[in-house]
Amino acid sequence: MSITQLQTAGSKLGEIRKPIPAPKHLPDPGDMPVNFEQDEPSTKPDFNAGFRTEGDKAYTRIAGPNDDFAIETMEELGFPPATTPHRGGETRALKELNKLIADKKYTATFQKPKTNPAQFEPQATTLLSPFLHFGALSVRLFYWRVREIVDSYGKGASTPPESLIGQLLFRDMYFAAQAALGYVFSQTANNPYCRFIPWHLPSKRDSETGLITGEYHIDSEEAEIWFRRWRVGMTGFPWIDALMRQLKDEGWIHHLGRHAVACFLTRGGCYIDWERGCEVFEEWLIDHEPACNAGNWQWLSCTAFFSQYFRCYSPIAFGQKWDKEGNFIRRYVPELKNMDSKYIYEPWKAPLPDQKKAGVRIKGDGVEQYRGGNISKTNV
């Protein structure tokens, strides 16, 4: 499937409808009971069990303990208090959308491939994807607010697939592909559109359903080490490590950053099954959409969609293109914060005096160390 196919199919449905305005008040519930107890949902399997520190104290009454219909807190759900700066909700989503729309030139001329993956505080893109994922921002509202700006901007406005509307089309393209194939869309096995490549660490499958189980075969101890180091940002390639650490710490990385780490794990470096990376993104991305996640991993591993097998993202040169001084690396790989810019993307090339000046010592392959990775900060 391609965006063109999606647009052709979508055109038969007519114009995308504008969203219904939000109500200004809620109707009187009358005699409707609000204190009834809800049916206890099944807790098997509890995918969040490993993250809970206390029992789940979710509300049993729809009105909540204070009769205010409040959403449960992290503590009431059995989790530790939130420590991240992320805050959700429609109020914040609309505030961020209005901030975006206020910059008409940025909105109208937005081109995703030209945004900087190494830019942070603030990032180079809209950061609205988590709000879309959680339903705090209406997709149709986003579409129409952007389209009105683009239509009024005239000459010079960007177009799909690189524009903001193009990003929504990519999203729907993956949704449509998933709708057509069902569960097998998210795996190689039994997926008629996904190329089989003999990756390392292939998934285990249920013998009856043919679906992947979430476990995998360790066909190579070396590949298993590579995968674990990639996951925690200790590969020894500072650009890749910075991106993976940002993902773990913040739940988000730039679209092109996702391209870089996905290419590195699969065809561009480790030759590890894309399903392993897909699972890590599923766990850590706060804007995770199952269809988009699986689709993008297939795209970047060149197993489906627009397979540009000849385009590999260098773990060195690609980052340098956007951030020659390595400020992104200094932010997320603080071991190298004092490294000379000449060596920050390839610290193993730094002479010993430069390493000593930076307060690091590069040695070994990292396998023998608990944390792994080529970058070892030691006393020198």
Residues placed in the known binding site for FAD:
125-129
On the 0-12 / 13-18 / 19+ scale of CB atoms within 10 A, 191 is buried
- Cα separation of 104 and 124, whole Å? 15
Rounded Cα gap, residues 142 and 107, in angstroms: 11
Kindly give, in sequence order, each residue whose CB lies less than 8 Å from that of residue 312, ignoring residues fewer than 6 positions away: 263, 267, 268
Element (H, E) at 98: helix 90-102
Question: Is the separation of the CB atoms in 360 and 216 below 8 Å?
Answer: no
Greatest C-alpha distance within the chain? 79
In sequence order, the β-bridge partners of residue 205 are: 212
- Binding annotation: 125-129
Burial of 261-287, coded b for 16+ CB within 10 Å and e otherwise, reads bbbbbbbbbbbbbbbbbbbbbeebbbb
Torsion of CA 86, 92, 94, 97, to 10 degrees: -40
Secondary structure, 3-state, 259-274: HHHHHHHCCCCCCECH
